[in-house]
Structure 1
């Protein structure tokens, strides 16, 4: 199928993300078959040109490329259970949440049933699917990815193959997912401070966005420090962060007009204190990766 820009595709699972995937395939000219446990969700896609199959086996047999967008790997296997015989000779692409171990188990399951396999992650919201800058990560056999790269790029212009290991996308998805909640909590802590003083949250948003851009710009340098193990020439030291967060936590309860709950920062304080105790005060903040690789270690 290499070079077939409009190869037939089947999409299994039509939640918000699955429906967006199917629409992207339709929009780019791929004959698209869809299936969902609740058939009503297919109606809007049928109006756009999709073919709906009531039986999952018929949906799988309709296309050489099967893209699933269900909640977990376990749910994916259950939904595909009636269609396992139809999987042989086809390529299964999973786009769901899960762990690297789950992706490896899914790859083994696909192989047992004669299907080639790619695991992927959509690093965006449904509304962004199909946009030129939307990032999708994939892991799995190089040749399999090459065969279907043209079709998969319909889902986002920034389509990246991370290598032959089938759990690569789940690995990076887990790594990136760990960044999200702490970042949002930091923003919401700032919002709590601003709004407690009677100012709208929207007044903070543009400055927070600009600040995050500046943080993003230093990530390659931090990554280089980790890769080389050289932490001795810091732009920002552990000590600076340690002293700053100690002051933040101490002062938050007494800020005039705004008592802010910063209890969520307690584990961060503990990590910085352990780093200080281990002699890392004057080293780069990136040295914390060495402690994170040794969870639970005490000084």
Structure 2
């Protein structure tokens, strides 16, 4: 269709993220049909011009492209299984978060039924969906992604294609969330540590930028070192840095704070030192993360 008559889309799942996705399509002027398993959702989207389908099959048949975003793949497959005939010959984009294995299983199911399938992961909170800074990752058939790329960019200014393995979006998603939740936990613990000595969180926060500002360069350097297998610790070695973790443990214990995360960090570092990485960079700990036995 021409830009004057944009192709319609369907969004299944009207939780907070699903509503944000449908809203982004509407903001772009795209005809949008929506459906949700439980009633009582979607009235705000209808007020903005969406069509609320009476059934999931009606929603799917309204468009050549269906985007589904629900709580997990158990939920998405429960919805999609009865829709195999309706989806055949159409495009399904699954933005539900789950494991790489579940994504690959869903892709196989779709392929066996003649459904063009992309798996994806939304990497921003709902309020950023539809904006130029939003990032959504996609994996699956390249021709399908390229055909619908301009449509998908209405959901996120950065729509990144990762490759033909349908599990890749979930791999990237969970790896990035690994960093996110570990960082969030570390921030909370840092604020708790400072509070025990009567330092307000708002007083500490501006100085944390000295650490967060160097993380992009550290991440790039670590990535290069891992891929090259070169863990040169000339600038700062693991044995030296574990001493700092000991200081954190002592202070935290003295103030009655939980030390679970710090103890886990120290245990991995100690294992790496014991295996001969004491003179290497911290990134060498990657070699002992794989559990044995």
TM-score in same-fold range (> 0.5)? yes
- Counterpart Cα distance in 2 of 1:33 and 1:131: 21
1:289 aligns with 2:276: no
- Counterpart Cα distance in 2 of 1:131 and 1:237: 42
Q: How many aligned positions are there?
A: 293
Structure 2 residue aligned with 1:185: 185
- Counterpart Cα distance in 2 of 1:5 and 1:120: 26
What SS does the corresponding residue of 1:137 show, helix, strand or coil? Answer: strand
More deviation, 194-203/211-220: 194-203
Aligned structure 1 segments of 4 or more residues deviating by more than 4 angstroms? 1-5
The 5-angstrom pairing of residues 1-299 of structure 1 reads 6-254=6-254, 258-292=255-289, 294-296=290-292
Quote the offset at 1:122 in angstroms: 0.5
Quote the offset at 1:131 in angstroms: 1.2
* CA distance 1:120–1:275, shift in 2 (3 Å): same
* CA distance 1:86–1:285, shift in 2 (3 Å): same
What SS does the corresponding residue of 2:120 show, helix, strand or coil? Answer: strand
1:9 and 1:32 in contact (8 A); partners too: yes
2:272 and 2:287 in contact (8 A); partners too: no
* CA distance 1:222–1:152, shift in 2 (3 Å): same
TM superposition score normalised by structure 2: 0.94
* CA distance 1:98–1:2, shift in 2 (3 Å): farther
1:142 and 1:164 in contact (8 A); partners too: yes
* CA distance 1:13–1:209, shift in 2 (3 Å): farther
- Counterpart Cα distance in 1 of 2:116 and 2:240: 50
- Counterpart Cα distance in 1 of 2:286 and 2:132: 33
- Counterpart Cα distance in 2 of 1:149 and 1:5: 17
Quote the offset at 1:263 in angstroms: 2.5
1:89 and 1:116 in contact (8 A); partners too: yes
1:123-160 Cα distance to aligned partner (Å, 9 max, x none) = 01101101101111110011010011001001111110
Quote the offset at 1:4 in angstroms: 9.7
What SS does the corresponding residue of 1:226 show, helix, strand or coil? Answer: helix
What SS does the corresponding residue of 2:70 show, helix, strand or coil? Answer: coil
1:5 and 1:150 in contact (8 A); partners too: no
TM superposition score normalised by structure 1: 0.93
What SS does the corresponding residue of 2:117 show, helix, strand or coil? Answer: strand
1:28 and 1:154 in contact (8 A); partners too: yes
Which runs of no fewer than 5 residues in structure 1 stay unpaired?
Answer: none
Quote the offset at 1:111 in angstroms: 1.2
- Aligned-residue Cα RMSD (Å) equals 1.9
- Counterpart Cα distance in 2 of 1:121 and 1:42: 22
2:8 and 2:30 in contact (8 A); partners too: yes
Quote the offset at 1:92 in angstroms: 0.6
